[in-house]
Structure formats: C-alpha cells, structure tokens
Amino acid sequence: MSIKEYAKEMIERDQVFRDIAEQTETLWINDKLLPFEMTDALCQLVVTDEDIEDTERRLHKFAPYIKKCFPETAEDDGLIESPLADIPEMKRALEEKYGTEIPGRFMLKMDSHLPIAGSVKVRGGIYEVLKHAEDLALEAGLITEDDNYERFADDDMKEFFGKHTVQVGSTGNLGLSIGIMSAFLGFKVKVHMSADARQWKKDMLRSKGVDVIEYEEDYSKAVSEGRRLSDLDPTSYFVDDEYSLPLFLGYAVAAGRMKKQLEEKGVTVDGDHPMIIYVPCGVGGAPGGVCYGFKRLFKDDVHIFFCEPTLFPSVLLGMASDRFNEVNVSDFGLTGMSAADGLACASPSGLVTRICRNLLSGDFTVRDAILFDYMRMLKATEDIFIEPSSCAAFIGPLNIMKLDAGKTYLEKHGLTAEKLANATQVCWATGGRLVPDEIWDKYMNTYLE
C-alpha cells in the first residue's frame, strides 16, 4: 500500500489521525511502548551505554579547549551545561488560565540558555563537530589521544581545518551550533537553510563567516541538497540530522548530566516518584537522543513525550504508521509554514523514529498561536525568555490531564493522583538565548489565530 493510501486508512480508522488531518491539538499514545527491559538488548545493538560514556569522556577531554574559547563555560569548567529550574509561578499561571491541575514538582530544563549557541542543538551539534575535528587531527598525526586538547586553539590546527569543509542542513538552530563551532575551529562552513529559517539566524551566521545557502523549499530539501553537495567534495563532512549517531550521542549525554542536577535539588526518581519529560520535537534528533539517554538511566520510572506543531507532526506520523522516514506530513494533507520554525520538519529522522519506537510514551500536537501565549506567560511569571518553538513543551503537562488519551495513559501506567503528587514534570526549553532584542519584541507582540 502506498503511504498516501495508508494515511487515508489511518485517518478513517482512528480519531487521533482525524485530529491531525484537521489540525486539532491531540495526543498520540505510543501503542508499541514496551517495558524497558524488553527493549534493552535491541537498543544496545545500535547505541550502547559504553557509547554514551565514551561521548561524555570525549566532552571532558575537550573541556579545557571549550573553557579557553568560550569563557561563559568557565563556571562548569568547560562542560557545556544548562540550568534546571523550578518554575512554580509558571505552574500556577498555567493551572489558572487553562483550568487544569499540574501535579508534582514543575521544572524547566533550560537548554534554551546553553552556552555558545543557546539551543538544545549545542549538545549534539558541538559534539559532532568536535569529534570530527578530533578524527581529522588524529589521522593527520597533529595530536595524540593523550594531548591536552587546548591544542585545538593553536594556529597550525586552525590552518589545517581551513582545508576542510563542514556542511549541514538546518531550520536554524542546528546551523547556528554547527556553524559557530566549526568556524571557531577554523573549518570552512556551509549551512543549507530551509524556507522556515529565521532571517536573524542567517544574518548571525554570515557575520561569523559562514556560507549560508537559502532554499525556498522545506527542511528535507535543505538536508538532501546539503548532503548531495557535500558528498561531491572529498574534503567536506556532512552533519546529517536525519541519521547521525554522533549527534544522537551528544543529546543522550543530557540524561546523566541532569541526573546530578536532580540529586542536587533533592529530586527522587523511582517507582513511587515518577518523572515525566516533555520535549519539543522537529526531525526528532534532539528529543530522540534525550529520550534515549533518560530511558537508559531511569527506565520505566521516566515517561517521555514529544511535542510537535499541528502542522508538522512528522515524528508522530513516522512512528504511528511504522513507515518511519518515508512519511511526509503532506501525506496527511498538512501543508504550510509554522511559526515554530525550529520544529518545522515534514519528514522525520529514520534513526530516531525506529530507536524510540518502543521507548517513547507519546506525542502531543500544539497550535502555533498558543506558543506565543506560553512564551509571554513564562516571561511574566518567571522572567525567562525562550523562543516560540521551545514553548511547545508546555502543552504536555496540560493536555496529559485534560485529554482522554492522557488520562488513560496515566491510569494504565499506575500514575495515580497519589503518585503524581510525588512526581516531577520537566518541560524542555530548547532555544532562545541568542534571539536578538528586536526579535523578542516582535515575538512578544505576535498574536495568532
């Protein structure tokens, strides 16, 4: 059956897909979520705990270099990390405005404020660029594994990387991360930007000497063209958001880092103290890696939900249809532009839709208009600014209590009122720190239907 025919059948069969076709906010519960133990062996075939540990080790090796180049990381000794904040005032405001209780402790993981490029893409993007630089330098005999990696700041290293190109396709934030880090190391950089990408992100990259190539088409096109052009050039390396394991690993490291922060804040996560995490989702790379890392550490005590724009529920559809990366949101009649520029991906990552098929709890869709309301509310209550895409996470804690699918999920997993009172709910803020002031003013004054 063609995907279009299959999509039609799904829409006829199930209310969730009718909601999606009608662009109504909905919640898809993953029908193939398995108890963690049942997924363990197969998952480790693709990404092992050792791979994640190796990633953390490599980031530690680069820490002296990062600290030297980006003084804002000095506090964390060159490790690139973001705060975990309680947001009780936001919780109260959401409860009041939307008439829904949000049980348990309510927190914001502020990847919106990560050093260097101010978005979750810093985790995967910077890691992949550093790893590539290390691979090249080792191969050329410019460093050994035992060297102090501050060496990467030396002029001869920059000169060497200048003979190499890094390319990436992006809706904006991945381009910023890859672009800023690669340019810093000395690489030539080409960023292929989709039509949804914001002008200020293109301007910022150009100001750093990055070659920005603009497309009138969507994100999938920017990626496929970038990949094709990079493959033609033997000195070019393509950071592939749809398939990359290093990116995935960079994101997965978040879990171990946040475990420490939770402990510092006195948060317990166990069978009696569940944790629910909501992550804004585009192509799936960042939320997929985050999801994977958390499931490996907290197993069935953590529940991960993704949040996608009503116009771009590509990861949801890729998983629900089991057609993975073959799906395009247009198969379900969805076309158009989203104000959630960071999430505007029409087709999902093949890697993430597969590896998270038995790990993800579900996927919420959210209307563009409400993102700006959440954004204003967070600013007013907690004095925290995050970009509209990033606000998609707030639909989760509301609709899990409101929608029947959410209530059913909670019941099925024994998340009783008593347990939820002991729970921690975390919204993942995925971007915002680099947004220029004049753009903030514009966002703050955006009211959509």
User: Which residues form the interface with ligand PLP (CB under 6 A)?
Assistant: 119-121, 173, 280-287, 342-343, 345, 387, 389-390, 430-431
Q: Are 375 and 443 in contact (CB under 8 A)?
A: yes
Residue number, 319 or 415, with CB nearest to ligand PLP: 319
Taking residue 239's Cβ as centre, other Cβ atoms within 10 Å add up to 27
Please give the angle made by the CA atoms of 100, 102 and 104, to the nearest 5 degrees: 160
**Residue 329, beta-bridge partner list:** none
CA distance 239 to 250: 13
Closer to ligand PLP at the Cβ: 175 or 406? 175
CB of residue 411 vs ligand PLP: minimum separation in angstroms?
Answer: 29
Based on CB atoms, which residue is closest to ligand PLP, 186 or 282? Answer: 282
Q: In what order do the strands lie in the sheet with 275-280?
A: 27-29, 362-366, 302-309, 275-280, 424-429, 105-110, 84-86
Question: Looking at beta carbons only, is 121 or 303 nearer to ligand PLP?
Answer: 121
27 vs 168 by CB, closer to ligand PLP:
168
Burial class (CB in 10 A: 0-12, 13-18, 19+), 36: middle
Least distance between ligand PLP and beta carbon 417 (Å): 31
Nearest approach in angstroms of CB 409 to ligand PLP is 22
CB 21 → ligand PLP: shortest distance, Å?
22
Vertex 341, ends 385 and 239: CA angle to 5°?
Answer: 105
CB of 215 to ligand PLP, least distance (A): 16
Instruction: Identify whether the C-beta of residue 111 lies closer than 8 Å to the C-beta of residue 84.
Output: no
Nearer to ligand PLP, 136 or 345 (CB): 345
Strand residues in 87-200 grouped as ranges (E): 105-110, 165-170, 188-193
Is 109 in contact with 410 (CB distance < 8 Å)?
no
State the nearest-atom distance from the C-beta of 74 to ligand PLP, in Å: 25
Count Cβ neighbours within 10 Å for each residue of 350-360 and write b for 16 or more, e otherwise: bbbbbbbbbbb
Q: Which residue matches tokens 């921690």?
A: 424
Decide whether 121 or 132 has the Cβ nearer to ligand PLP.
121
Helix (H, G, I), strand (E, B) or coil at 62: helix
Question: Which residue lies nearer to ligand PLP by CB, 178 or 283?
Answer: 283
Q: How far is the CB of 195 from ligand PLP (least distance, A)?
A: 15
| C-beta of 194 vs 390, nearer to ligand PLP | 390
CB of 115 to ligand PLP, least distance (A): 16
Closest residue to ligand PLP using C-beta atoms: 282
> What does the alpha-carbon distance between residue 132 and residue 111 come to, in Å, rounded to a whole number?
23
By three-state DSSP, how is residue 318 classified?
helix
Nearest-approach distance from CB 41 to ligand PLP, in angstroms: 26
Characterize the bridge pairing of strands 362-366 and 302-309: parallel
